[in-house]
Amino acid sequence: MPPVTTTTTPSTTTPPTPPPVDPAAARAALTDAIASVRNPGARKILTRAWAEASDGLTAENVAVRLADLAARFVGTRQLTEEELDRLLVALVGVLTAY
């Protein structure tokens, strides 16, 4: 009797696709994160910067505009580490949504 040969093919399963992020919800989360900044001067600067960045935000320009906004966040020295973390997480949410 001849030997039995078995062949195994590698699994071709793909990882699950994460659910889409709603751009409006992501933008609202970033607006809320900015509104939670305790320092009024920093909050005003960031509110203005986000208003400028979000005006006409598209998939084509989102990376450049949010990179500029992230630089503003990091450059604002009146933020606590917790506030900066919250802002950057919300910013990534907006980037992911587009």
Residue 19 lies in a domain: no
What is the distance between the alpha carbons of residues 63 and 13, in angstroms, rounded to a whole number?
A: 31
Residue 78 included in any domain: yes
Q: How many domains does the chain have?
A: 1
- Quick: pLDDT tens for 45-91: 999 999 999 999 998 999 999 999 999 998 888 999 999 999 999 99
Specify if 24 maps to a domain: no
- Alpha carbon separation from 98 to 5, 21, 23, 92 (Å, rounded): 50, 8, 7, 10
Rg (CA), the chain: 22
Q: At what angle do helices 23-35 and 40-54 cross, to 10 degrees?
A: 160
Containing structural domain, residue 59: 39-97
The answer, yes or no, to whether residue 6 has pLDDT greater than 90, is: no
Residue 18's pLDDT is what?
Answer: 66
Question: Is 30 domain-assigned?
Answer: no
CB 50 within 8 A of CB 31: yes
